[in-house]
């Protein structure tokens, strides 16, 4: 049963794109969805993180297993408006494509999931199980929305998770983790002709980075699907005058972790190197300011197999199951879940996320609504 006409489905998507939820103001998206759900007899609850940012949770069904579905409400900055052919916040159709910021990543997926829930409820096809939408804030920076869902226990009784990030007609079931680390070094300034009177803050960092490059890159821990852990020092700063011993220095590093060399183990490796330098007289202070876990669900689960089967009927070709480089909210949402927990990322979109003239194929957006309606109900049957 179709509640919405094609024009109305595109209007809902356009309404979401119009809200400038650029790394903030997701509360307006959440309030819009709350009203939309309310108009169709579905209760949705806001879970505010601040005055302008709020997660939203909405559910249909009354008993049985819970299929979690999730998408983020924030978008990245449109960047240089001059480079856009159209207004990024006005969804614009051209030659079968819809253009706008979030067209692919991921207001299309969010709209498709919300519309699918409303139409499933109206059609009364959900005879068993529940569908719980968790719409998040701050996925692009910080992932505090998905962290809140984890902390609040919203995922606790969830039995399988689908994230509607833009995979197009691919199913992703694994991705690396990501860790951001900063180490500050405090030394003592002195004239460079009398270094014994000072302590060079750069020296222990240079030694540590050499050692870290060696330790991480020579590691024999490997993931057949995701490859090796990736370590990179990305910032090294220190000193302010060529003939002075630097009193302050810092380095920042990004690590892309794998299940076999996870975030805890990677941070331990660095902490050991910090301790070694400090034991030799350095004053290093390490802080981990972002840590997202790697995610790897089994390739073949009831959810992934059904998604592939139903997806194929829309795509007209087999749907590959893949690992992806980017981190998603699954890093937080799957915290504490067993390693065989069914997870897929499967949503409308293409390879234009974060770009100017971001777009989506109009038909793919519309098809994903029908695809979701079939998949969610069949999965819970």
Helical ranges in the chain per DSSP H: 6-18, 26-39, 107-123, 144-152, 202-217, 263-279, 302-315, 330-333, 362-380
Q: How many angstroms separate the CA atoms of 285 and 288, rounded?
A: 10
Annotated active-site residue in 26, 74, 329, 361: 74
Q: Is residue 103 part of the contact set for Zn ion (CB under 5 A)?
A: no
Of 55-63, 104-112, 142-150, 273-281, the segment contacting Zn ion by CB under 5 A is 104-112
Of 46-54, 102-110, 256-264, 311-319, the segment contacting Zn ion by CB under 5 A is 102-110
**Among positions 14, 106, 255, 274, the unique one binding Zn ion when judged by CB under 5 A:** 106
Of 123-131, 159-167, 175-183, 226-234, the segment contacting Zn ion by CB under 5 A is 159-167
- Residue nearer to Zn ion on the CB measure, 105 or 373: 105
> How near is the Cβ of 354 to Zn ion at its closest, in Å?
9
- Is 87 marked active-site? no
Pairing outcome for strands 359-361 and 97-99: antiparallel
Residues 163-222 that bind Zn ion (CB under 5 A): 165
In degrees and rounded to multiples of 5, residue 39 shows phi and psi of -60, -20
Contact present, 209 and 233 (Cβ < 8 Å): yes
> How near is the Cβ of 347 to Zn ion at its closest, in Å?
9
Q: Is residue 143 part of the contact set for Zn ion (CB under 5 A)?
A: no
Number of residues that bind Zn ion (CB under 5 A): 3
**Which of helix, strand or coil describes residue 239?**
coil
> How near is the Cβ of 104 to Zn ion at its closest, in Å?
8
- Is 275 marked active-site? no
| Nearest one of 156, 366, 186, 190 to 274, comparing CA atoms | 186
Total residues found in the chain within this entry? 381
Q: How many angstroms separate the CA atoms of 145 and 47, rounded?
A: 9
Q: Which residues of 32-64 are buried (b: 16+ CB within 10 A; e: fewer)?
A: bbbebbeebebebeebebeeebbbbbbbbbeee
> How near is the Cβ of 332 to Zn ion at its closest, in Å?
14
Annotated active-site residue in 119, 139, 361, 374: 139
- Closest residue (Cβ) to Zn ion? 105
Question: Residues near 227 by Cβ (< 8 Å), separated by ≥ 6?
Answer: 258
> How near is the Cβ of 370 to Zn ion at its closest, in Å?
22
Contact present, 380 and 126 (Cβ < 8 Å): yes
Q: Is residue 358 part of the contact set for Zn ion (CB under 5 A)?
A: no
Q: Is residue 74 part of the contact set for Zn ion (CB under 5 A)?
A: no
Q: Is residue 330 part of the contact set for Zn ion (CB under 5 A)?
A: no
Of 73-81, 97-105, 223-231, 297-305, the segment contacting Zn ion by CB under 5 A is 97-105
Contact present, 352 and 104 (Cβ < 8 Å): yes
For 336, other C-beta atoms within 10 Å of its C-beta total 9
**Among positions 26, 59, 74, 105, the unique one binding Zn ion when judged by CB under 5 A:** 105
Q: Is residue 361 part of the contact set for Zn ion (CB under 5 A)?
A: no
Q: How many angstroms separate the CA atoms of 102 and 13, rounded?
A: 10
**Residues annotated as part of the active site:** 74, 139
Residues at the site binding Zn ion, with contacts judged by CB under 5 A: 105-106, 165
């Amino acid at each position: 049963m179709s509640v919405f006409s094609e024009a109305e489905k595109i209007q809902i998507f356009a309404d979401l794109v119009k809200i400038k939820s650029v790394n903030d103001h997701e509360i307006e998206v959440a309030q819009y969805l709350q009203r939309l759900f309310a108009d169709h007899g579905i209760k949705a609850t806001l879970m505010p993180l601040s005055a302008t940012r709020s997660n939203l949770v909405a559910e249909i069904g009354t008993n049985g297993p819970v299929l979690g579905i999730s998408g983020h409400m924030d978008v990245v900055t449109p960047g240089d408006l001059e480079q856009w052919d159209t207004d990024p916040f006005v969804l614009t159709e051209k030659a079968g494509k819809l253009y706008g910021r979030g067209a692919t990543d991921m207001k299309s997926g969010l709209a498709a999931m919300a519309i699918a829930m409303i139409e499933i409820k109206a059609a009364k096809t959900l005879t068993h199980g529940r569908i719980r939408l968790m719409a998040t804030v701050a996925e692009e920076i910080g992932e505090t929305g998905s962290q809140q869902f984890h902390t609040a226990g919203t995922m606790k009784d969830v039995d399988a998770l689908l994230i509607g990030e833009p995979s197009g007609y691919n199913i992703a079931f694994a991705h690396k983790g990501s860790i951001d680390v900063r180490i500050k070094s405090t030394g003592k300034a002195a004239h460079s002709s009398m270094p014994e009177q000072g302590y060079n803050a750069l020296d222990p960092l240079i030694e540590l980075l050499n050692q870290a490059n060696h330790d991480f890159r020579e590691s024999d821990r490997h993931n057949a699907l995701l490859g090796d852990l990736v370590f990179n020092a990305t910032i090294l700063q220190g000193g302010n005058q060529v003939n002075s011993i630097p009193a302050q220095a810092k380095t920042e590093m990004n690590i892309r972790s794998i299940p076999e060399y996870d975030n805890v183990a990677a941070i331990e490796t660095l902490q050991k190197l910090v301790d070694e330098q400090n034991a030799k007289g350095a004053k290093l202070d390490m802080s981990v300011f972002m840590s997202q876990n790697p995610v790897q669900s089994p390739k073949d689960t009831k959810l992934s197999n059904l998604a592939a089967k139903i997806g194929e009927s829309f795509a007209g070709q087999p749907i590959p199951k893949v690992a992806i480089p980017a981190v998603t909210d699954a890093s937080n949402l799957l915290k504490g879940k067993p390693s065989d927990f069914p997870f897929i990322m499967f949503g409308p979109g293409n390879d234009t996320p974060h770009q100017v003239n971001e777009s989506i194929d109009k038909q793919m957006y519309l098809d994903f609504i029908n695809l979701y309606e079939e998949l969610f109900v069949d999965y819970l049957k």
